[in-house]
Structure 1
Amino acid sequence: MAAHASSRDAAPRASDRPGDASPFALGLLLRRAHWRAAGVMSEALRPLGIELRHFAVLIVLVDRGPTVQRDLAAETGTDKAGIMRVVDDLERRNLAVRKPVPGDRRARAVEITPEGLELFDAAHVAAAPLAEGLVADLGPDDTEQLMRLLTRLAHPGGREV
């Protein structure tokens, strides 16, 4: 039993502190960076009356156009019930609307409204100075390199999801 305990003690301990050699270090650092970035972006969206989950749907709608709810759920990492609540919220605010899908009586495509597009643009204006602050400790070359590396990590082999 003592040999088992000592081999366990020799394994690197997972943390997100600088110099962590654990196999979990990258994931933990990405999680911490995500929390920080999400907090900053939430701050930008708060005065506009929406949350990140709403904005994630607006991003997909601007990028892809009208999109069925199941695809919105997949694109945003939201479950079926969660995406329904988000789309309900967006509809209540007149930021998006559900429309029938030709040839499929059960499916509804979600489409951004002109008001939704206006809010989408306003969110970018509000987020710009906060996003700059998020990377203020990095130089311009570092910020560009971080974006390139994260893009490669998020889309391996240059594939888009």
Structure 2
Amino acid sequence: MSRSFKVGVWRSFMEIHHAVLGEIERKLSDRHRLSVSEFDALVNIPLAGTRLKELQERIVLTQSAVSRMADRLERRGLVTRAPVEGDQRGAMIELTEEGRKLLRAAVRTNAEVVESMFTDRLSKEELLALHGVLRRLKPEENPAAT
């Protein structure tokens, strides 16, 4: 198999990812006034809440970017922030009822786009095969990649 074919496959994968992510971004913004990063943050806040530092590790943004995002989400009434006892710099962040409600709607929007632009275009067999391939490529499931 030629190098150009391999790079072409990768390029196609990136183009599909870009198109689907772009549509998710548009729909989340239009329907819920959320960016993909804000959606990602909301999805990664457990029901019991989480420390801001742990959220930053889950969504791979800088500490200052997560803090600014938390400020925006707090101003919208989607999260609350509380100090962590014994840690002057630490903060706990929790979804409010309004945040949980918006998150449920945004999760449905995300799923609609993924289905319409990606999974509904593949057969069950193709999805199963793709799932197997992608599992092998994920670093945490591929010992050779670490």
TM-score of the aligned structures, taking structure 1 as reference length: 0.72
Is 2:36 aligned against 1:52?
A: yes
Checking the alignment, whether the CA contact within 8 Å between 1:40 and 1:131 is kept in structure 2 is no
Which amino acid is the alignment partner of residue 6 of structure 2?
A
Distance apart, 1:101 and its partner CA: 1.3
Q: 2:115 aligns with which of 125, 132, 140?
A: 132
**In structure 1, what is the Cα distance between the partners aligned to 2:103 and 2:132?**
24
The residue aligned with 1:39 is 22
Unaligned segments of structure 2, at least 5 residues: none
DSSP-derived class of the 1:156 partner: helix
In the TM superposition, residue 25 of structure 1 has moved relative to its aligned partner by 5.5
Instruction: Find the structure with the greater CA-based Rg.
Output: 1
Residue equivalent to 1:113: 96
- Match in the other structure for 1:3: none
Where in structure 1 are there 5+ consecutive unaligned residues? 1-10, 14-19
Question: What's the Cα RMSD here?
Answer: 2.6
4+ residue stretches of structure 1 with deviation over 3 A?
28-31
Q: C-alpha offsets along residues 112-156 of structure 1, whole Å, 9 cap, x if unaligned?
A: 111111001011222333221112321123224334433443353
1:96 to 1:158, Cα distance in 2 relative to 1, 3 A = farther
Supply the AA of the counterpart residue of 1:50. L
1:79 to 42, 62, 81: 62
TM-superposed deviation, 1:35? 1.4
Q: From 71, 76, 80, give the equivalent of 1:97.
A: 80
Q: Against the structure 1 CA distance between its residues 157 and 151, is the aligned structure 2 distance closer, same or farther, given a 3 Å change threshold?
A: closer
Report the Cα distance in structure 2 between the residues aligned to 1:68 and 1:30, rounded to whole angstroms. Answer: 34
Which sits farther off after the overlay, 142-151 or 126-135? 142-151
Per-residue CA shift, 1:86-134, capped at 9, x if unaligned?
A: 1111001111111111221221011111111100101122233322111
Aligned 8 A contact 2:53 2:90 in 1: no
Aligned residues: 140
Q: Give the one of 21, 38, 46 matched to 2:6.
A: 21
**1:65–1:151: structure 2 CA closer, same or farther, 3 Å change rule?**
farther
Counterpart secondary structure, 1:133: helix
